[in-house]
Amino acid sequence: MKTLILILIIFANFHLALFAQMPALEIKGKEVFRNEDVIIHQLDERTWVGSGHLAFFESIYIVEGDDKAVLIDTGMKITNLDSIVASITKKSITLIATHVHPDHVGSIDRFPEIYINQGDTANIAQFMPDYDGKVNYLKDGEIIDLGGRQLEVVFTPSHTPGSTTFIDKTAGYGFSGDSFGSGNLLLFSGTFSELIETCEKMRTIMKEVRIKFLYPGHFNGKNPETQKRISDLITLSKDVLSGKVKGKENKGNRFGLSRVVSDYGVRINYNEKSLK
């Protein structure tokens, strides 16, 4: 438990250091809940975002259909999150995660099961060590049917091997966790080639089914992932691989992401092993 707390603190500091320059929380929509752990805003009739304050507004999303609802991610440390969610929606809740990092699965203790991408199984021991619920696996392309509302599961690895985006084609938006960085991508597990592949896959989907934007894992109200940002990530990644752009030393990082590159309004933190 001590180790877990230490990991959480390091993670929080790391994110805060990285995002220190970012703007304040300015989410449009009605505030429907607030306590010391989380502020929840209504995004539209059946969608809410909760913002924690331990890892640059780590986001949780409540997405409701006619029959069921999902909670996407749990934030870092939100006490009694199950009761808080139940005060927002009366539908039965299934917990799904964009990826297994402590600021996204840190408050799972009161949920009997969680759905993740199997690619992040290796992170479970480190980031969900005390979880005794059931871990289920999502499939790429799977449809989560909430009744009158569907989410498509799209695997988008490179931040972690199991990073996943959930697309609501009817609403024209999705939920992408840290897959595209919330403006500051941490390339923990993947290479630049894998990032390009993930971005091209998502750009195609966004074009084909008219997805206007993706709600990111650290949503401050002004940093949705757009097609432009995803295209810019592709361009910057190609520039890095071709040698056109050189990364700088990434001062203050604590996770082995020793290099950083920033251009076209996007930023990627990476290490040497990602240069392929």
- When the beta carbons of 80 and 191 are compared against Zn ion, the nearer one is 191
Instruction: Quote the least distance from Cβ 124 to Zn ion, whole Å.
Output: 14
How many C-beta neighbours within 10 Å does residue 34 have?
A: 12
Structure tokens at 250: 């990434």
Which of residues 75 and 224 has its CB atom nearest to Zn ion in the complex?
75
Residues 6 or more apart in contact with residue 244 via CB below 8 angstroms: none
CB 45 within 8 A of CB 121: no
Nearer to Zn ion, 37 or 178 (CB): 178
Q: Write down the least CB distance from residue 140 to Zn ion, Å.
A: 19
By C-beta, is 20 or 208 nearer to Zn ion?
20
Tokens standing for residue 155: 């695997």
How far apart CA 9 and CA 19 sit, in angstroms, is 15
- Count of H-run helices and E-run strands, the chain: 6, 17
Cβ distance to Zn ion smaller for residue 181 or 247: 181
Query: CA 46, CA 89: separation in Å to the nearest integer?
Result: 9
Shortest Cβ 189–Zn ion spacing (Å): 10
Q: Which residues pair with 115 in a beta bridge?
A: 96, 136
Residues at the contact surface with Zn ion, assessed by CB under 5 A: 101, 178
Look at residue 175 and give its three-state secondary structure. Answer: strand
Burial pattern 215-241, b for ≥16 Cβ within 10 A else e, equals bbbbbbbebbbebebbbbbbbbbebbb
CB 200 → Zn ion: shortest distance, Å? 21
CB of 19 to Zn ion, least distance (A): 12
The Cα 37–Cα 181 span in angstroms is: 23
Q: State which residue, 178 or 194, has the beta carbon closest to Zn ion.
A: 178
Closer of 188 and 192 to Zn ion (Cβ): 188
Residue nearest to Zn ion according to CB distances in the complex: 101
